[in-house]
Amino acid sequence: MEFTPEIKKATQPIYQKISKTIPEIEWSTHAPYIYEINKLKKEKNAVILAHNYQTPEIYHGISDFSADSLALAVEAAKTKADIIVMCGVHFMAETAKLMSPNKKVLLPDMRAGCSLSSSITGEDVRKLKKQNPGVPVVSYVNTSADVKAETDVCCTSANAVKIVNSLGVKKVIFLPDDYLAKYVASQTDVEIISWKGTCEVHEKFNDTEINEIRKNNPGIKVIAHPECPPDVINASDFTGSTSGMIKYVKDNQPEKVMMVTECSMSDNVQVDNPNVKFIRPCNLCPHMKRITLPKILDCLKNETNEIIMSDETIEKARKSVERMAEIGR
Ligand code: 13P
Ligand code: SF4
């Protein structure tokens, strides 16, 4: 697509904001797509929801709302748009469809999965329930609709402890992230039965790396996502969801910070916090990175890659998400 003078002028205010993150030569490739997508979404009354791990040209260039997975689910329920384009992974698009079953929900690349979501099936949950009769099931939203259909209440990293405590029981089955389960267990008296799922991005971090960075950067604040292994969480100053981490930086304005999470977070948060220095060892989520501007334009233009679920699955799975939304953050 051509980077015309008209497109350059129209996209200039966006570029001014992110010029420190995206080199000018790269901008000439992104800008025509940003221009077209922003035009088309108005024509079609579409809303673009983006997870915090999306690249800066998506996060700052075209998204109407960018957030953690809890806020994306709540926003999907509220939106007045006819079409929701989910710039995130498959479970996020499915969750949006559960919250807004009458809307058209599009995912720019259907292959954008999640190692946690693919670690467990509805059948696995049924077996666990048989082995633990009467024990309620709390599932991370990073699961398929089939798993959600077998779940009493969903949670995200932003409210996992609150949701587990809200049930008023002695024991819960908590799926599928073993590290998040360990983190929740460290914050509650409720006994946790977990599953062996892990996030392929966060499991790669370790405390040796963090201690080394601390040694070389005295005073640095280390903030970690709860999908990290326990040694990483113990070596950190703060643990929270992606939006929790963003809020920590905004509120505390540390001189130097390391966000122990997916790479795009630091790029995105740097834009709004120019005085904070980001030390950036990070890991890429290959699923999140499948979402690109050309794919977003294509799926919005042709209304392809629609999330389709049977009424029965929607009916069964949405209750657990709605219950989570009622309990909140
Ligand atoms: P958040 O709910 O914290 O945004 O996390 C979602 C996710 O997939 C993290 O890897
Ligand atoms: Fe899934 Fe991990 Fe990617 Fe989040 S970062 S979408 S948990 S694989």
Q: Dihedral of the CA atoms 143, 108, 68, 263 (nearest 10)?
A: 100
DSSP 275: T
pLDDT at 328: 87
Out of 91, 116, 119, 282, mutate this one to test ligand 2's pocket (max ligand atoms within 8 Å of CB): namely: 116
C-alpha angle 249-252-257 in degrees, rounded to nearest 5: 50
Of residues 281, 326, 244, the one with CA closest to residue 74: 326
Walking along the chain (329 residues) 10 residues at a time, the average pLDDT comes out as 96 96 95 98 98 97 96 95 98 97 97 98 98 97 97 96 96 98 96 98 96 96 97 96 96 98 96 95 95 98 97 94 91
Cβ 287 under 6 angstroms from ligand 2: yes
pLDDT reported for residue 321: 95
Say how far apart CA 125 and CA 131 lie, in whole Å: 10
Q: Which atom of ligand 2 is nearest to the CA of 285?
A: 3
Cβ atoms of residues 223 and 259 within 8 Å:
yes
Pair of tokens at residue 309: 């679920």
**pLDDT (0 to 100) of residue 281:** 85
Q: Are 291 and 66 in contact (CB under 8 A)?
A: no
Show the tokens assigned to 77: 């329920």
How distant, in Å, are the alpha carbons of 28, 36, 213, 222 from that of 232?
39, 42, 12, 10
Q: Which of 54, 90, 202, 284 maximizes ligand 2 atoms within 8 Å of its Cβ, making it the mutation to test the pocket?
A: 202
For residues 153-176, one letter each, b for 16 or more C-beta atoms within 10 angstroms of the residue's C-beta and e for the rest, the string is bbbbbbbbbbbbbbeeeeebbbbb
Structural domains for the chain: 5-113+288-302 (3.40.50.10800), 117-198 (3.40.50.10800), 202-278 (3.40.50.10800)
Q: Which two tokens stand for residue 114?
A: 């999640």
N-term to C-term CA, the chain = 42
pLDDT confidence of residue 26: 96
The per-residue pLDDT for 329 is 83
Rounded CA gap, 26 and 6, in Å?
A: 17
Q: Which pTM does this prediction carry?
A: 0.96
Q: What angle do CA 277, 52, 34 make, to 5 degrees?
A: 100
